Chains A and B, each alone.
Chain A
Amino acid sequence: MPRISVTVDGVTYEDDVEPRLLLVYYLRERLGLTGTNVGCDTSNCGACTVLFNGRSAKSCTILAAQADGAEVTTIQGLARNGEWHPLQKAFNAEHGLQCGYCTPGMIMASVDLLEHNDDPTDEEVRHGLEGNLCRCTGYQNIVKAVRAAAGEVREGATS
């Protein structure tokens, strides 16, 4: 069995993993980090999105063995000192969720999006979240939340 060393939300783990173990199940079942969801069997829904070495990626389409040496951030590693990330706050304030199933993935994909474009248009948000499906909200408030968070991130950067 491959032995991996992987840093998840700032903590480094060493583990033997079965080659066929998918990263998302390593996170959920081995590490107990169930904030990252599984929503499909086809790599489409994006519910499992995490940051993999800083970029958004679908953790259901990565083998845990491929994560050896990698740095992974899940929704559970976003808050700082007990304070929510601007995106977490904005999804709450703007009603960017209903059932909440897609939300961890939506937020992680949005973190990557805002890192590369801190003032996206509606169109750019919709395009940037193409890899994430939501069956509840109709996306309207998700777009609003991401743009609201962008404002806060920009302010945070200048203050």
Chain B
Amino acid sequence: MIPAAFDYTRVGSVDEAVQALGQHGEDAKVLAGGHSLIPLLRLRLAFPSVLVDVGRVDEMRGVRDDGDHLVIGAATTHDEVMHDDLVRQHCPVISDVVSQVGDPQVRHRGTFGGGIAHGDPAGDLPALALALDATFVIAGSGGRRDVAASDFFVDYLQTVLGAEDVLVEIKVPKLGSDWGHNYQKFNRVAQAWAIVGSLALVRRSDGSIDEARIGLTHMGSVPLRASATEQALAGASTDVIADACDQAAEGTSPPEDLNARADYRQHLARVLTRRAVEHALGG
């Protein structure tokens, strides 16, 4: 279908973007890679009056080294993030998860920040950001602020981003070589979204697990951490993995749709989390 009419403006800086959003009010929307927004416009599920295109804002593109963190520009494409040398060296889990987003064409256009700002609990990046304890730098009319990933996702397709806010960059901690990772994305066909996904980040020390962080995709209206499993794994020997992962769906109320009932999703969360933890440990 053809989208309903809207105006379009391309901005060259974050300040210009915030200004343009302020000027046009509630009905303006940021356009990044367009790979969530344009499909919505085509299906006439969204009716913005103005799109503010941030796709070419240089300060929102690329990855830089910031001591014990990496800073990823929100408008960096999935493909650029996935192949970035700093990402591969210091946070290879990001490369691994992003390589499972959509298909090559989607990754050439869609952006890392867009995948987070869209706030889709079926998307792969929200759970990734949550498991990494990422920090989001947001620019708005009152200046810039940092928001923790754990405070960012509010509800289905809703985040703390206000009408005049722009997600500028994402800070992620560098993970040392003692961290293993694995993302289990369960879907039935190529290029499909996760029916459920489980991301395990596990820090090993001989024979036992120091710390585990587990992010769950599509297990509620927002991305979740499997906290009960994380607690059961912390400082424990690898013998407890099966029991710990049996708690992966605790406290979740996953959606029901044509792909899966809620109880099936909970079953998947337990199984996928066990697999993810085992693979993350190199098993």
Contact = CB atoms under 8 A, between A and B. Distances in A.
Contact of A20 (B4, B102, B104): B4
B3 A62 contact: no
A15 to B, nearest CB: 14
Contacts of B258: none
Of the listed residues A61, A62, A128, the one surrounded by the most CB atoms of chain B closer than 10 A to its CB is A61
A19 B191 contact: no
Question: Which residue among B2, B4, B53, B105 has the maximum number of chain A CB atoms within 10 Å of its CB?
Answer: B105
Interface string B106-119: 10110000000000
Interface string A18-41: 111010010000000000000001
B39 A42 contact: yes
A46 B103 contact: yes
Contacts of A44: 191
Contacts of A147: none
A61 B5 contact: no
Interface string A127-152: 01011100000000000000000000
A41 B191 contact: no
Given A42-B39, A131-B191, A109 B2 contact: no
A34 to B, nearest CB: 17
Nearest to A113: B104
A90 interface: no
Contacts of B38: 22, 43, 61-63
B104 A130 contact: yes
Given A52-B108, A56-B108, A61-B39, A130 B103 contact: yes
A71 B42 CA distance: 24
B41 A20 contact: yes
Interface residues of B, number: 30
B55 A131 contact: no
Interface residues on A, range: 20 to 34
A2 B10 CA distance: 10
Given A20-B2, A55-B79, A130 B35 contact: no
Given A19-B6, A19-B8, A66-B34, A109 B39 contact: no
B7 interface: yes
B258 to A, nearest CB: 15
B51 interface: yes
Contacts of B104: 56, 109, 112-113, 128, 130-131
A41 B108 contact: no
B8 A65 contact: yes
Given A19-B51, A131-B102, A61 B35 contact: yes
A109 B105 contact: yes
A66 B43 CA distance: 19
A112 B108 CA distance: 11
Interface in B1-30: 1-8, 10
B6 A57 contact: no
Interface of B: 1-8, 10, 31, 34-35, 38-39, 41-43, 51, 53, 55, 79, 102-106, 108-109, 190-191
Given A63-B38, A130-B191, 5 more contacts: A19-B8, A46-B103, A56-B105, A61-B38, A130-B104
The 7 closest A-B pairs by CB, nearest first: A131-B103, A19-B8, A130-B103, A55-B108, A131-B105, A130-B190, A20-B3
Interface of A: 2, 18-20, 22, 25, 41-44, 46, 49, 52, 55-58, 60-63, 65-66, 68, 109, 112-113, 128, 130-132
6 contacts: A41-B1, A41-B42, A43-B106, A66-B55, A109-B104, A112-B104
